[in-house]
Amino acid sequence: MSAPSVEKGIQFIKGQIDAPVASFFSACVHCGLCAEACLFFTETGDPKYTPINKVEPMRRIWESEFTLFGKLKSMLGMGEKVDEATFAEWETLVYDGCTLCGRCSLVCPVGNDISGMIRKVREGFAAAGHAPEGLIGASTRAVEIGSPMGVKLPAVKAQIKHLQQDTGLDAPLDVKGAEYMVLLSSMEIMNFPEYLEAIARIMKQAGKTWTIASKAFEATNSGIQIGVSDIAKVLVSRIVDAAEELGVKTVISPECGHAFTAIRWDGANLIGRPYNFEVKHILEVLDEFVEQGLIKTEGKEDAKVTYHDPCQIARKGGVVKQPRNLLNKIANNFVEMEDGGEMNWCCGGGGGVSANERADEVKLTAFNKKKSQLQALGVDTLVTACANCRLTLEEGLEENEMDMPIVGLTEMLAEYLVEDKKEEA
Amino acid sequence: MDANELLIWARGPGFDIALTIFVVGMLLRLLEVLALGKKPDLSAPRGSGPEGAVRTLIARTLPRKTVFDKEPLRIINGYVLHIGFFIVLFLYGPHIAFFESFLGFGWPALPSGIVDAISAITILSLIAALVFRMNNNVMRFLSTPGDYIAWAVTLLPVLTGYLAYNHLLLPYTLMLALHLLSVELLLVVAPFTKLTHMFSFAMARWYQGYQAGRRGVES
């Protein structure tokens, strides 16, 4: 890739402007309602965080390049410019002040997909050399080492060995013709090994063949977050190649929000062809297993629990009813958070914000939304299905001296499997 | 040129010019959008794109609770403004007669007195919209001269129509001529301001709804 420059940034943004984007800018009436949906605005009160303002550089480029009136304005020297200063000024809004959560897109009265545009405009910011260090580091590690957190295959193998020793269960590597190929996120390998154990138990009870690909165990995709399609493509291709080499039927996206977006929705478009396999989120698979009677649960959690919908899984991924079906199976006292489901409030750490140290302060301010939601509910346990949400929530709770366990839904379900109860008895 | 001549010009050539600019301008704006095209989505669909598009096109007319609860007045005012404007434009007898002369068919009108009251409400609603725009920190922050121009050219036809109907301020013929001229100003300005949203909102909702439908997500 050539060196980043303002010209390149503008070119990249131009390349992202299609009919939907143009229709969105033509339809915006500056009503400002998107601000009310954005936790960066509601928690800071600063109007610069109004979602549509975050794509102002893109609007300027659209107007001056793709509208006759805008071209005339530019010729007369009246157009608004996009230069180095513009990129510098908007960089923090585009990366630090947006988690790509997508609430704004759902409240816009004219139907503008604003968060979709913020995802697109990041391509230009990265090309102009205005992406945050933290995300550049994560992306570089993802491409060079194979994981944004620098996790290598030996770490996965070590975890599998632990699993075998502790539980007698197995997580088979590189099994050709397995029905499912399970992906992990770095955080699940490093911080939440419970996930892998839960998968091993569930798959065993369901009687399904599954595997982890040694060439593509990592599901996360920093390229999607930083906005570099070339990187995103490299990372997705690893998964596609491995899945097709092993001939699996279904690839399972782990408890990670953006990984699901990357592999489920963006992947085929990045590599330029449809897949030869299906992609499902782990919660979709679990719900199917329960529906088909392949796994049975026994007993229920008595603690008051609520569910935090990861934005990319619920709002943008359409996996909303599954976690509720599952929770109602295993919890006696499951309560919904206000706006739960499609309109849930983001944890504040999505869209690459948690990998961007510069955004730490605004991320914690944004967390105040989740804090007040949790305080209003007064729950004992918080369940979620995204390792990144989980880490962001843990950090936020700790910072606010709130003591509350956070568990992944997959591992919680695994605890209530009938078979395990029998084995323990 | 006296008031009569002005009215004749505004009814005839003036209106034709304005309507031409409106139609050509709007078509240009919409074609500018469509010409950019859209890459096909290669991801495996979970639902129907067209179904989602139609659903969003209709459903987005209503606000979501989470935002309505925060800004009820602004949102209600938005409805009053739009509905009021459409009633005055399309359900006032003389307007229908005017459309009939173009289209060759008409439709039932509301009693003039009711339209008069609704136009007064619409004027108040437009004034409220301006007050909101100037007082809400987000709206003030987002506002450009274009927003105020669009506001003014929307207000003028309603205001002059109201004044003409009630024989206020200026002689009727002159006010009616000004009313027509203000409509023409609106037609001429609309394609070059955010008033394009009168058509592009449908495209925006369609595009977002289409993607949401394919993905089987809410929109």
* Res. A146 pLDDT band, cuts 50 70 90: confident
B33 vs A22, A41, A341: nearest CB: A22
Domains identified in chain B, total number: 1
pLDDT at residue B166 greater than cutoff 80: yes
pLDDT at residue A423 greater than cutoff 80: no
* Average pLDDT of the residues of chain A: 95
Contact (CB, 8 A) for A127 and A61: no
B50 in any annotated domain? no
Mean pLDDT of B172-178: 97
pLDDT at residue A419 greater than cutoff 90: no
Residue A166 CB neighbour total at 10 angstroms = 10
- Cβ A66–B32 below 8 Å, yes or no? yes
Mean pLDDT of A172-179: 97
Query: Minimal Cα distance from B79: which residue of A?
Result: A109
In the chain, the amino acid numbered A236 is: V
Residue A147: predicted pLDDT: 85
Query: How close is the nearest chain A Cα to the Cα of B169, in Å?
Result: 32
Q: Give bridge partners of residue A250 from the DSSP assignment.
A: A180, A278
Task: Please determine whether the domains at A6-131 and A296-424 fall in the same fold group of CATH.
Answer: no
Query: How close is the nearest chain B Cα to the Cα of A273, in Å?
Result: 6
Residue A383 phi, psi dihedral angles, 5° rounding: -110, 140
Token readout for A169 is: 């269960």
B43 in any annotated domain? no
Contact (CB, 8 A) for A237 and A271: yes
Residue B102: predicted pLDDT: 85
A22 vs B32, B138, B215: nearest CB: B32
SS (H, E, C) chain B: CCHHHHHHHHHHHHHHHHHHHHHHHHHHHHHHHHCCCCCCCCCCCCCCHHHHHHHHHHHCCCCCHHHHCCCHHHHHHHHHHHHHHHHHHHHEHHHHHHHHHHHCCCCCCECHHHHHHHHHHHHHHHHHHHHHHHHCHHHHHHCCHHHHHHHHHHHHHHHHHHHHHCCCCCCHHHHHHHHHHHHHHHHHHHHHCHHHHHHHHHHHHHHHHHHHHHHCCCC
The 10s digit of each residue's pLDDT in A24-81 is: 999 999 999 999 999 999 999 999 999 999 999 999 999 999 999 999 999 999 889 9
Sheet holding A250-253, edge to edge: A210-211, A180-182, A250-253, A278-281
The 10s digit of each residue's pLDDT in A313-355 is: 999 999 999 999 999 999 999 999 999 999 999 999 999 999 9
Residue A89 CB neighbour total at 10 angstroms = 14
Residue A185 phi, psi dihedral angles, 5° rounding: -105, 155
- Cβ A50–B144 below 8 Å, yes or no? no
At the topology level, CATH places domain A6-131 in: Fumarate Reductase Iron-sulfur Protein; Chain B, domain 2 (1.10.1060)
Residue A415 CB neighbour total at 10 angstroms = 16
Hey, is A80 helix, strand or coil?
A: coil
The 10s digit of each residue's pLDDT in B32-85 is: 999 999 999 999 999 999 999 999 999 999 999 999 999 999 999 999 999 999
The 10s digit of each residue's pLDDT in A115-132 is: 999 999 999 999 999 999
Contacts with A339 from chain B: Cβ below 8 Å: 66
- Cβ A30–B194 below 8 Å, yes or no? yes
* Res. A425 pLDDT band, cuts 50 70 90: very low
Q: Give bridge partners of residue B92 from the DSSP assignment.
A: B110
Chain A interface disruption, residue of B46, B201, B214, B215, most A CBs within 10 A: B201
Nearest alpha carbon to residue B209 among A251, A166, A44, A27? A27
Separation of alpha carbons A242 and A358, rounded Å: 35
Residue A395: predicted pLDDT: 96
At the topology level, CATH places domain A145-289 in: Rossmann fold (3.40.50)
CATH number corresponding to A296-424: 3.40.50
* Res. A148 pLDDT band, cuts 50 70 90: confident
Instruction: Determine contact: B193 vs chain A, CB below 8 A.
Output: no
Task: State the pairing for strand pair A278-281/A381-384.
Answer: unpaired
B41 in any annotated domain? no
- Cβ A20–B38 below 8 Å, yes or no? yes
- Cβ B60–A342 below 8 Å, yes or no? no
Contacts with B28 from chain A: Cβ below 8 Å: 68
User: What is the ipTM metric for this complex?
Assistant: 0.96
Residue B56: predicted pLDDT: 97
The domain containing residue B129 runs over which residues? 3-36+64-215
pTM over the 0.90 mark = yes
Token readout for A306 is: 């609520």
- Cβ B139–A339 below 8 Å, yes or no? no
B170 in any annotated domain? yes
Q: How many A-B residue pairs are in contact by the CB < 8 A criterion? A: 173
Separation of alpha carbons A94 and A130, rounded Å: 10
In the chain, the amino acid numbered B113 is: G
The 10s digit of each residue's pLDDT in A282-313 is: 999 999 999 999 999 999 999 999 999 999 99
* Angle separating helix axes B72-91 and B93-103, nearest 10 degrees: 60
Token readout for A313 is: 């899984």
Residue A26: predicted pLDDT: 97
Residue A424: predicted pLDDT: 46
* Res. A1 pLDDT band, cuts 50 70 90: low
Separation of alpha carbons B94 and A134, rounded Å: 65
- DSSP for A11-24 reads HHHHHH--HHHHHH
Residue B160: predicted pLDDT: 98
In chain A, where are the structural domains located? 6-131, 145-289, 296-424
Separation of alpha carbons A129 and A150, rounded Å: 23
pLDDT at residue A11 greater than cutoff 50: yes
Q: What percentage of chain A exceeds 90 in pLDDT?
A: 91
Contact (CB, 8 A) for B88 and B158: yes
Instruction: Determine contact: B49 vs chain A, CB below 8 A.
Output: no
Residue A388: predicted pLDDT: 94
Plot region of A170 (φ>0 → left; ψ -120 to 50 → alpha; else → beta): beta
Query: How close is the nearest chain A Cα to the Cα of B154, in Å?
Result: 13
- Cβ B201–A111 below 8 Å, yes or no? yes
The 10s digit of each residue's pLDDT in A386-396 is: 999 999 999 99
Residue B171: predicted pLDDT: 96
B56 vs A32, A111, A278: nearest CB: A111
Nearest alpha carbon to residue A322 among A281, A360, A379? A281
The 10s digit of each residue's pLDDT in B103-121 is: 999 999 999 999 999 999 9
Nearest alpha carbon to residue A299 among A420, A202, A167? A420
Mean pLDDT of A80-102: 97
Mean pLDDT of A363-375: 96
Residue A307 phi, psi dihedral angles, 5° rounding: -120, 130
Contact (CB, 8 A) for A132 and A96: yes
Query: What CATH number is associated with residue B197?
Result: 1.20.950.20
